[in-house]
Amino acid sequence: MKWWPSVLLVLLAAASGCSAPAARAVLAPPAPRAPRFIRVGVVEGKRTAIHTVRLEEYVQATSISEFAPASGDLDVVERMLEVQAVVGRTYALAHLGRHARGGFDLCATTHCQLYEPARLRTSRWAAAAAEAAQQTSGSVLWFDGAAASVLFHADCGGHTSNSADVWGGPGRPYLVGIADDGPAESAHAAWRFEATRDAVMRALNADPRTRVGARLDGIKILERDAAGRALRVALHAQQERIVGGGLLREVLARALGARTVRSTWFDVRRGRGTFVFEGRGFGHGVGLCQAGALARIRAGTRLPAILQRYFPGTRLITLG
Ligand SMILES: [Zn+2]
Ligand SMILES: [Zn+2]
């Protein structure tokens, strides 16, 4: 499924006065095309079925799977679905073939992007999602000659993080931490989660990477990134450990629920036989903050300005 710009051979006539025309190969200005179809791997029972779907249908389904508020103003929801459509389309193009070994492009879970096409029949926002995909048809965020590796999350807590801080590696120049202030200032939520020490210990012992043994005395954050997200955390326990903040959240959320330790931006202290986590935001905190984007839409900010805010330095282009 190649979609790179084709090199156009353009025959240019030689300047007047020259009898024989000269042939020159000229690289056409970037006129990349989007693929018409992508292959989505959908788990059905014990096997993964490969669904070949039109890209724009995928964009509709994934935008409504990743953003489906319980209520809201139709116009605001549709504008947010437009933002989500551009981000979802860009993500899909940047990650074509991510599951090439399995014979498809993207999976249908949050590992890639949620893809629940049934929502296009059942959701009250289905018509808005179709309209949003149509309104933004072919629009993607472009960086350095390719679709940008965009990411999003539910709520940054007030500041996004550098991808390099959260996951290591070289990072991307447009995945940098920004203060999500201005119209987004009051869009962010704080959370609190308290669990018995036993429950936390059992959760940690369920994963070999965070196994602490028969006693857990304390959890201490050793290092944070510029936003405040925990990067390194000490587990004072029978088996002393230092673990990454992301891993700690992943392990606790898997055992205790996604809405428990909602982000790595937290403080933790001991209660009476418990651990008390108090934090901000929901999700990894890199790239577009849905809560902030929604607040910006309500304040009248247009789609290009919103995307520029969360992905600085990318270009919004329309593919053929
Ligand atoms: Zn995947
Ligand atoms: Zn935010």
Residue 277 CA to ligand 1 center (angstroms) comes to 30
- Helix (H, G, I), strand (E, B), or coil: what is residue 143? strand
Residue 65 CA to ligand 2 center (angstroms) comes to 20
Ligand nearest to the CA of 296: 2
Residue 172 has, within 13 A of its CA and on its CB side, a CA count of 19
pLDDT value of position 26:
60
Return d(Cα 306, Cα 297) in angstroms, integer.
8
pLDDT value of position 14:
35
pLDDT value of position 82:
98
66 has pLDDT over 80: yes
**Residue whose tokens read 């020490």:** 197
pLDDT in tens, 92-133: 999 999 999 999 999 999 999 999 999 999 999 999 999 999
pLDDT in tens, 151-183: 999 999 999 999 999 998 889 999 999 999 999
Ligand nearest to the CA of 97: 1
Residue 201 CA to ligand 1 center (angstroms) comes to 30
Residue type at 158?
Answer: G
pLDDT in tens, 7-48: 333 333 333 334 444 555 566 555 588 899 999 999 999 999
Mean pLDDT throughout 296-318? 97
pLDDT in tens, 233-244: 999 999 999 999
Give the pairing type, strands 288-289 and 152-153.
parallel
Give the pairing type, strands 274-280 and 146-147.
unpaired
Residue 311 CA to ligand 2 center (angstroms) comes to 13
pLDDT value of position 132:
97
pLDDT value of position 6:
39
User: Which residues fall inside 5 Å of ion ligand 1, going by CB?
Assistant: 107, 111-112
**pTM (predicted TM-score):** 0.87
pLDDT value of position 160:
98
Residue 149 CA to ligand 1 center (angstroms) comes to 14
4 has pLDDT over 60: no
Per the CB < 8 A criterion, the answer to whether 201 and 212 are in contact is yes
Q: What is the dihedral of CA 68, 285, 278, 216, to 10 degrees?
A: 110
Ligand nearest to the CA of 43: 1
300 has pLDDT over 50: yes
Ligand nearest to the CA of 177: 2
pLDDT value of position 32:
80
Ligand nearest to the CA of 294: 2
Residue 80 CA to ligand 2 center (angstroms) comes to 14
Residue 310 CA to ligand 2 center (angstroms) comes to 9
Residue 58 CA to ligand 1 center (angstroms) comes to 14
pLDDT value of position 34:
87
pLDDT in tens, 250-296: 999 999 999 999 999 999 999 999 999 999 999 999 999 999 999 99
Per the CB < 8 A criterion, the answer to whether 4 and 27 are in contact is no
Residue 107 CA to ligand 1 center (angstroms) comes to 4
Rg of the chain (C-alpha set): 23
pLDDT value of position 274:
97
- Helix (H, G, I), strand (E, B), or coil: what is residue 278? strand
Return d(Cα 112, Cα 205) in angstroms, integer.
28
Residue 155 CA to ligand 2 center (angstroms) comes to 5
pLDDT value of position 27:
60
pLDDT value of position 221:
98
Residue 228 CA to ligand 2 center (angstroms) comes to 13
What the block records as the tokens of 17 is 């006065």
pLDDT value of position 320:
82
Residue 281 CA to ligand 2 center (angstroms) comes to 8
Residue 262 CA to ligand 1 center (angstroms) comes to 21
What are the residue ranges spanned by the domains of the chain? 37-188+284-318, 190-280
246 has pLDDT over 60: yes
Residue 140 or residue 28, greater confidence: 140
- Give how far the C-alpha of residue 274 lies from the chain's centroid of Cα atoms, to the nearest Å: 33
What the block records as the tokens of 309 is 């805010």
pLDDT value of position 8:
36
Residue 292 CA to ligand 2 center (angstroms) comes to 4
**Residue whose tokens read 């210990």:** 201
pLDDT value of position 16:
39
192 has pLDDT over 90: yes
Q: What is the dihedral of CA 279, 280, 284, 290, to 10 degrees?
A: 160
Residue 285 CA to ligand 1 center (angstroms) comes to 19
The C-alpha angle 104, 107, 113, rounded to 5 degrees, equals 135
**Residue whose tokens read 């999976």:** 107
Backbone φ and ψ for 142, nearest 5 degrees, come out as -120, 140
Instruction: Indicate if the alpha-carbon torsion angle 3, 286, 305, 174 is positive or negative.
Output: negative
Residue 265 CA to ligand 2 center (angstroms) comes to 13
Closest of 241, 208, 203 to residue 222, by C-alpha: 241
